[in-house]
Amino acid sequence: MLRLLCNTILREKATDCWILPVSVQYDRVIETDTYVDELLGKPKEKETLWQLMTGGGSKLQLKLGRIDVHFAEPWSLKQFLTEQYASREYDRVLFSLGYKVLNDINSVTVIMPGALVGTVILTLRGRGVGRRELIRRVEWLRDRIIAKGGRVAEFGNRTTAEVVDRLSPRNRYTYIRALGVLKDLIGEVKGLAEPTFFARDRFQLSFYRNQVIHLFVSEVIISVALYTKIKQGGGPTNQKIKYRDLWSQCEFLSQLLKTEFVFELARTLTDNVDKALAGLEKDRIILWNREEMIELTPEERECGRENYDFYCFLVLSPGISD
């Protein structure tokens, strides 16, 4: 579509075209089944108008819960091409155009409550998480998203506990339960004093996690790079990494994941790494002396690396590191 639009402008078949990036988020994600199929290697099925007319009725009648629609600032495609095409190859211009659209969509995307709960459950160690711990981690994640400049759906007059309860499978009479949000993806461990939940379907739950991960790409890459040292064990003195070695690991991971994530535009790798390191240092997750070594803080070790592990487990399964 973007190629067709660009060709139309370059051939002067139209004077201009305005790009308006739109983010649409809703409580219940209906694409999870096809998402799992694609992860397992099944080719993506092309959507057609005929499918919508003949089989789409049931989907159009689904109760998807709350829907949030947000618009980024529109911009001129002709101006973009004028600025980019003079010094770059056409395919590179198209590549940059696609990533600019994605970046603009990400900038106005609202993280829904279901994505908060699903992400926390998917990134915790162990077989389950108690209700109180789940609430605490959801609040931590919400605060981190806001600190990063992201947007979180308003809870209205509800507390975090009420939001978590409505998204959990425990109460069959809540309105979220009736809509089926997360009910098949999160299970409850029976017979315990406190409600304890676990990831029942990790594949489909990862779709909700993917609504969050774009906000923490640099933190994820740094955490995974540092993990190459932490995995070796040997105590804190053996789990430090030199800045230049961390940077090299981040460069490798950035190249490996460049088609998976949208990195901050108009910033160098060093800018992104240093900015993320400063944020992790402010949150008391790492120590960074600016000259040589980077390591986890004593506070992070005392709490069982829960915050550091969160960033690692956004891309790694907890089972890999246990």
Q: What is the pLDDT of residues 70-98, one digit of tens each?
A: 999 999 999 999 988 877 888 889 988 99
The whole-chain average pLDDT of the chain stands at 82
Q: Do 220 and 292 fall into the same domain?
A: yes
Q: What is the pLDDT of residues 240-294, one digit of tens each?
A: 999 999 999 999 999 998 888 877 665 788 999 999 999 999 999 999 986 679 9
CB 280 within 8 A of CB 264: no
Count of alpha carbons within 13 angstroms of residue 84, beta-carbon side:
19
Q: Do 237 and 192 fall into the same domain?
A: no
Task: Please identify, among 175, 209, 243, the residue that sits at the C-terminal boundary of a domain.
Answer: 209
pLDDT at residue 174 in the model: 40
Tell me, what amino acid is at 60? Answer: L
pLDDT at residue 31 in the model: 60
Q: Do 183 and 233 fall into the same domain?
A: no
Q: Do 219 and 257 fall into the same domain?
A: yes
**Beta strand 241-242 pairing with 293-296:** antiparallel
Token reading at 176: 């979220």
Q: Do 191 and 254 fall into the same domain?
A: no
Task: Please identify, among 209, 229, 246, the residue that sits at the C-terminal boundary of a domain.
Answer: 209
Q: What is the pLDDT of residues 171-223, one digit of tens each?
A: 443 433 323 467 778 888 888 888 888 888 888 888 888 889 989 999 999 99
**Structural domain for 252, as ranges:** 214-321
Q: Do 183 and 271 fall into the same domain?
A: no
Those residues whose C-beta lies under 8 Å from the C-beta of residue 250, and which sit 6 or more positions away, are 221, 222, 225, 269, 273
User: pTM, whole model, 2 decimals?
Assistant: 0.80
Share of the chain above pLDDT 70, in %: 80
What is the tally of structural domains in the chain? 2
Q: What is the pLDDT of residues 55-72, one digit of tens each?
A: 554 555 556 667 889 999
Q: Do 205 and 223 fall into the same domain?
A: no
**Beta strand 151-152 pairing with 110-111:** parallel
Q: Is residue 282 part of a domain?
A: yes
Residue 191 maps to which CATH number?
Answer: 1.10.10
Token reading at 123: 């990134």
pLDDT at residue 305 in the model: 93
Q: Is residue 123 part of a domain?
A: yes
Q: Do 165 and 141 fall into the same domain?
A: yes
Q: Is residue 234 part of a domain?
A: yes
Token reading at 14: 């139209």
Q: Is residue 126 part of a domain?
A: yes
Q: Do 202 and 230 fall into the same domain?
A: no
Q: Is residue 285 part of a domain?
A: yes
